[in-house]
Amino acid sequence: MSVLYPVYLWSLLLLVIPIAVHLLSKNNPRRIKIGSVKLLKQTDSRIFRRIAFHDAWLLALRALIFALLSFLIASPEIACKYKASEKSWILIEPTVSLEGQSTDFHKKLDSLVKAGYEVHFLKPDFPTTSRTTQENARMDMWSLLAEADKVNRDTLAFFVASSLRESSLQGKRPTLSRQVQWLETSTDETAWIERIAQLSDDSLFIVIAISSANETRFEHLIAGMPNKSSVVPPIELIKQGDSIGVSLISNPNEKKWFSLTKRESWCIVYDEQFANVLPYFERAVKAIAQFSPTKISVEVKKETEWQEKSEAKIIWLCHRKPLKHLNYLDATGFSEESLLDEHFVHTLSEMLLPESTSENDRRKVSSEMAMPITRYEHHTSNEQRTSLMFPIWILVTLLVGLERWIAFSKE
Partner 1 sequence: MALRQVSPKLLASLKGLNLIAKTVVDGFMLGLHQSKRSGAGLEFSEYRPYQLGDDVRQIDWKLVARSDKFFVRTSEVETSVAVRILLDASASMQHEEDGITKFDYARWLAASLSYLAHQQGDAIGLYAVQTHITHVPAHHDKNQLKKIFSTLETLTPQGKWAERTQLDGLLSRSKRREITIFISDMNEHTDEILSALKAYARLKNDVLLFHLIGANELEFNYKGEIEFEDLESGELVRINAEVAKTQYQASISNRLKSLEKSMQAERIDYQRFLIQEPLDAALRKFLTIRNRFPK
Q: Does 304 bind partner 1 (CB under 8 A)?
A: no
Question: Measured from the CB atom, is 52 or 398 closer to partner 1?
Answer: 52
Q: State in angstroms the smallest separation of the CB of 383 from partner 1.
A: 49
Q: State in angstroms the smallest separation of the CB of 44 from partner 1.
A: 6
Q: State in angstroms the smallest separation of the CB of 28 from partner 1.
A: 9
Alpha helices by DSSP H, listed for 302-365, are: 336-340, 344-352, 357-360
Question: Measured from the CB atom, is 129 or 409 closer to partner 1?
Answer: 409
Question: Measured from the CB atom, is 10 or 48 closer to partner 1?
Answer: 48
Q: In this structure, what are the phi and psi dihedrals at residue 342, rounded to the nearest 5 degrees?
A: -65, -20
Q: State in angstroms the smallest separation of the CB of 19 from partner 1.
A: 18
Q: State in angstroms the smallest separation of the CB of 41 from partner 1.
A: 6
Could you say which DSSP state residue 324 is in? Answer: S
Q: State in angstroms the smallest separation of the CB of 405 from partner 1.
A: 14
Q: State in angstroms the smallest separation of the CB of 82 from partner 1.
A: 51
What is the C-alpha separation between 65 and 83, in angstroms, rounded?
31
Question: Measured from the CB atom, is 43 or 382 closer to partner 1?
Answer: 43
Angle between helices 278-291 and 344-352 (to 10 degrees): 60
Q: State in angstroms the smallest separation of the CB of 60 from partner 1.
A: 18
Q: Is the dihedral of CA 104, 106, 108, 111 positive or negative?
A: negative
Contact 284, 334 (CB under 8 A): no
Question: Measured from the CB atom, is 27 or 381 closer to partner 1?
Answer: 27
Question: Measured from the CB atom, is 22 or 286 closer to partner 1?
Answer: 22
What is the C-alpha separation between 128 and 125, in angstroms, rounded?
9
Beta strands 76-79; 118-121: pairing state:
unpaired
- Among positions 125, 336, 337, 411, the unique one binding partner 1 when judged by CB under 8 A: 411
Question: Measured from the CB atom, is 47 or 80 closer to partner 1?
Answer: 47
Q: Residue 116 contacts by C-beta under 8 Å, 6 or more apart in sequence?
A: 87, 88
Ramachandran area for residue 125 (φ above 0: left; ψ -120 to 50: alpha; else beta):
left
Total number of residues binding partner 1 (CB under 8 A)? 24
Q: State in angstroms the smallest separation of the CB of 66 from partner 1.
A: 23
Question: Measured from the CB atom, is 54 or 131 closer to partner 1?
Answer: 54
The angle at the Cα of 236, spanning 233 to 238, to the nearest 5 degrees, equals 155
Contact 102, 186 (CB under 8 A): yes
Buried b (16+ CB within 10 A) or exposed e, 381-411: eeebbbebeeebeeebeeeeeebeeeeeeee
Q: State in angstroms the smallest separation of the CB of 410 from partner 1.
A: 6
Burial class (CB in 10 A: 0-12, 13-18, 19+), 306: buried
Gap between the terminal Cα atoms of the chain = 39
Question: Measured from the CB atom, is 47 or 249 closer to partner 1?
Answer: 47
- Among positions 134, 200, 307, 409, the unique one binding partner 1 when judged by CB under 8 A: 409
Q: Residue 1 contacts by C-beta under 8 Å, 6 or more apart in sequence?
A: 76, 77, 78, 388
Question: Measured from the CB atom, is 54 or 108 closer to partner 1?
Answer: 54
Window 13 to 72, contacts with partner 1 (CB under 8 A): 29-44, 47-48, 50-51, 54
Q: Does 410 bind partner 1 (CB under 8 A)?
A: yes
Contact 203, 225 (CB under 8 A): yes
Residues that bind partner 1 (CB under 8 A): 29-44, 47-48, 50-51, 54, 409-411
